[in-house]
With several copies, the nearest count.
Chain A
Amino acid sequence: MDIHDYSVKVGGEAGQGINTIASILSRSFADQGLHLFAYQDYYSRVRGGHNFYQVRTATFPVYTFSDRLEVLVALDKASIDLHASELNPGGVIIYDQDIKTDDPGQNALALPMAALGKEHGGKAVMGNSVAAGAAWQVMGGDLEILENTLGRLFQIKGSDISEANIKAARAGADYANNNFSGHCRCQLQKGKSKKSLVLTGNEALALGSLAAGCRFVSSYPMTPASGVMQYMARQTHRLPLAFEQAEDEIAAINMSIGAANAGARAMVATSGSGFSLMVEGLSLAGMNETPVVIVLGQRPGPATGLATRTEQGDLLFSLHAGNGEFPRAIFAPRTAEEAFWTAAEAFNVAEKYQIPVFVMSDQHLADSYYTMEPFDLNKVTIDRGHVLDDEELEQMKAYHRYKITDSGISPRAFPGQGGKCVMVPGNEHMENGYSTEDPVNRTRMQDKRIRKHRSMSGEVKPPESYGKNDPGTVLLTWGSSYGSCREAVDEANRQGEKWQVLSLPQLWPFPGKQVLDLIGKAKRVVSVEMNATGQLGRLLRLETGRQPDLAVLKYDGRPMNAGYVLSQVEKGGVFPW
């Protein structure tokens, strides 16, 4: 099998169905045994505007998007005007015949989408399946696979609808077969991957949380985090899981704190402004030692910012958020696959250390599709930390929720267990949970809580190196920017450089010593992230004194890719500090 790496872009207005077309193609690529990475670019509006979906598929794992396209499926004129230039030589444009546009040239197909949709599927909207069929045909995909995909995707809408869509897709394929006279450089082969999952970051986070036994989700809708709660809401009928859309984010985190202290694994998912509103509740969780998982899907700020765009601008905010001082953990999965495992692990860390735990994602990770092998669910472990059982409690004279221990961790119990009462306070308190203003107690309790930070520091998910040993250049990065760095390093090393990516799946407690060891004698440390002030670079300095030599930053709301990283490093990047 040859090595292939193809990209298809589907562009059009909001509401025109680009998501549908892209989903059909994505699922079908996966079923051809190929890997994929597909990302969305959309406006904060429901109809109109110019949006697109870009699907990259390859015979090897892909982590980010490519600058160049093989196929452009255009549902509006803007798609051609804006993106035709992105086509590789020999790329193909498939466009809706109803668009008023000049003929884009020989390697293009004007497709009567609505007409064929109506004729073969019964409805003009089936034009989406027509387009998918035509594109699939041009790319030389296996039609049976596409039909299977359609069958499954539309299954919930009834077999009539799924049949109609299949017919429409076939009509599109036929039409392309008969009318496309050009040549497409992308000719799909069967890949070697076994049947793989296709998941967005949001879906993987939700699935991981469910696997971890999350029992309670309360959230308030906010792009790009809503996908997490909405996915979980869809599962409440078949799992022991309660979901509630809160009246605001303040209620959301406080509901979760209530549920967690009553005994359930609990979480919230939010973004930007929404998280800002949770800061007081976060501090409460710090004080009363509540395990609660906060999925923070980052988007550009300040304030409402760019609602549907991407950024990694809330790292130092989440690290320092909340009045007073208390420990927390911050994870930042780099891919959808990792998002699953991180979510699952986050609940363990939260419960073991009885702290709030962040799982940071960003719009680019949250909304992008990735392929991955099915998860081995037997590998999901659930560790609730030290929870007393009823018998143990019955034997106690009184239960002390905040018993002072060497590790800082006190054995937990829930109200009503073993006939004991549990006091969970928001003020400073004694071991039994009751308020006190005693200064000696205060110092001991603050020390106890902070000790958990140290206990946790030994178990941090280690930073990971990828690329050459003894590198000259180290790209230091986190979150979804990892994908771009990884491919940039591959490319640089192909060109004879000695580069490495050093990425941090967990950012707090910061594994400073390990990072310094891994940086080793590298001549140049380049921090790469999606924000304006170089927050990981700053965190490195805060924790180790070492400063990156260079920063590659991007904060226009659009994701970076390998090409951007390479060109910025070449230009000398910026140095924001």
Chain B
Amino acid sequence: MVVDVKEYDLDREITWCPGCGNFAIMDVLKNTLAGLGLSPHQVLVVAGIGQAGKMGQHFRTNTFHVLHGRLLPVATGASLVNNDLKILAIGGDGDGYAEGGNHLIHAARRNIDVTYMVHNNMIYGLTKGQASPTSEQSIKTPTTPQGNPLEGLNPISMLLGLKANFVARSFAGNKEQLGTILNKSLQKPGFAFIDILHQCPSFNKINTFRWFKERVYDINEEGHDPADLEQAFRLAQEWGEKIPTGIFFEDPEPKPGFREAVLGEKDRSITGPELNPLDIKEIMEEHL
């Protein structure tokens, strides 16, 4: 079925700053969803709190716009009871790597049937520029006024350490690559993790569009085989003059998605507006 990307348009003011990387990411996502023949009502975006999370308010679809850092558990619950929806989780680096870090470990472990996009601007945008776990060492922010004493977290390396089902990095300035990765991730059962680098012209004056643009390269184009976990791990350690992007890892022996692992065949019957009293007579009578 062909779906017009305009179906995803929403007649609402977009509250991001001009020049923000989020625009490009949203653009790619809308096109990818439409390209897959998905209508807005077949998609559920579970969004975190932050500029990235606002994305769920900026295009038409089902959205659960939840608490800061809690998008993955909400997506887990929703995905277990409804397998008709294509579920995405969308949030920022603070949302996902600081407040929500624990859920990320366990979403990967469970292999939940969700594509998770982390819009990684290496800063807290919405709350006006504090350091995030991925902020560069020495950057001055309102919470690191003497310069960040820590090195940034490497989410790709961490997710490879967790041997997550699908691990990728992209850049808002490379729409084609991002589109390809998203497209692929949305057609897989299980968990897909995509760290998306993007500029925040308002607060991150170091990792600008240009800064990224000059550094990113595509590992798959250069021959990296996503089935090779060890090489992926080696590549993931690179950060600085050159920044590897692309699909680092796709499990060559994929585990079943979480829904299947937990529910087996019976998932379809779990939800829906109708509900009949369960037959618990047999269970009750075990106590007689």
Contact = CB atoms under 8 A, between A and B. Distances in A.
B200 to A, nearest CB: 9
B144 interface: yes
Interface in A396-416: 413-416
A248 B99 contact: yes
Interface string B248-288: 00000000000000110010011111011110111111011
A290 to B, nearest CB: 10
A414 B142 contact: no
Contacts of A196: 288
Contact of B103 (A251, A415, A423, A425): A251
A567 interface: no
Given A207-B280, A207-B284, A384-B275, A416 B41 contact: yes
A434 B85 contact: no
A415 B15 contact: no
Contacts of B64: 258, 261, 288, 424
Contacts of A422: 62-63
B178 interface: no
Contacts of A235: 283
Contact of A233 (B51, B76, B133, B143): B143
B44 interface: yes
A211 B277 contact: yes
A546 to B, nearest CB: 38
B69 A426 contact: no
Contacts of B272: 263, 414
Contacts of B65: 423-427, 435
Contacts of A240: 266, 269-270, 278
A47 B273 contact: no
Contacts of B44: 262, 415-416
A522 B288 CA distance: 42
B70 interface: yes
A250 B202 contact: no
Nearest to B51: A46
Interface stretch (A90-98, A170-178, A214-222, A464-472): A214-222
B270 A215 contact: yes
A237 B283 CA distance: 12
B74 interface: yes
Contacts of B12: 434
Interface stretch (A120-128, A374-382, A524-532): A374-382
Interface string B219-257: 000000000000000000000000000000000000000
A190 interface: no
A434 B12 CA distance: 9
Contact of A248 (B39, B69, B273, B276): B69
B125 interface: yes
A562 to B, nearest CB: 27
A261 B44 CA distance: 11
B205 interface: no
A553 interface: no
A553 B125 CA distance: 33
Interface stretch (A70-78, A223-231, A360-368, A487-495): A223-231
A250 B70 contact: yes
Given A263-B82, A415-B82, A426 B66 contact: yes
B6 interface: no
A248 B104 CA distance: 12
A15 interface: yes
A245 B284 contact: no
A418 to B, nearest CB: 8
Contacts of A377: 277, 280-281, 284
A203 interface: yes
A263 B284 contact: no
B273 A266 contact: no
B17 A15 contact: yes
A259 B18 CA distance: 36
Nearest to A258: B77
Contacts of B209: none
Contacts of B94: 221
Contacts of A212: 277
Contact of A416 (B57, B62, B145, B270): B62
B143 A221 contact: yes
A280 interface: yes
Interface string B17-56: 1100000000000000000000111101010010100000
Nearest to A280: B67
A236 B81 contact: no
Q: Which among B60, B102, B142, B282 has the highest number of chain A CB atoms within 10 Å?
A: B142
Contact of B84 (A198, A288, A416): A416
* Range for the number of chain A residues in contact with chain B: 35 or more
A218 B99 CA distance: 14
Contact of A221 (B127, B266, B282): B127
B283 A247 contact: no
B81 A215 contact: yes
A415 B68 contact: no
Given A46-B17, A233-B142, A262-B82, A210 B77 contact: no
A211 B67 contact: no
B78 A46 contact: no
Contacts of B18: 47
Contact of A258 (B76, B106, B202): B76
A197 interface: yes
Given A257-B74, A258-B78, A47 B17 contact: yes
A110 interface: no
Given A196-B288, A240-B266, A262 B85 contact: yes
Nearest to A215: B270
Nearest to A429: B65
A501 to B, nearest CB: 28
A262 B102 contact: no
Q: Which among A226, A241, A421, A435 has the highest number of chain B CB atoms within 10 Å?
A: A421
Contacts of A435: 57, 65
A181 to B, nearest CB: 37
Contact of A426 (B41, B67, B101): B67
Contact of A255 (B73, B124, B281): B73
Q: Which among B46, B77, B124, B263 has the highest number of chain A CB atoms within 10 Å?
A: B77
Contact of A254 (B73, B110, B133, B280): B73
B98 interface: yes
Nearest to B202: A46
A244 B66 contact: no
A262 B78 contact: yes
A16 interface: no
B33 to A, nearest CB: 13
For the complex of A and B, list the 9 residue pairs with the smallest distance between their C-beta atoms, beginning with the closest. A258-B77, A415-B62, A255-B77, A258-B74, A254-B73, A259-B77, A47-B17, A263-B271, A262-B78
Given A259-B271, A434-B57, 4 more contacts: A241-B270, A260-B77, A261-B78, A426-B65
22 contacts: A197-B284, A207-B287, A216-B81, A233-B142, A235-B283, A242-B81, A247-B98, A254-B67, A257-B77, A258-B74, A262-B78, A262-B85, A263-B81, A265-B275, A273-B68, A304-B67, A384-B275, A414-B82, A415-B62, A415-B85, A421-B61, A426-B49
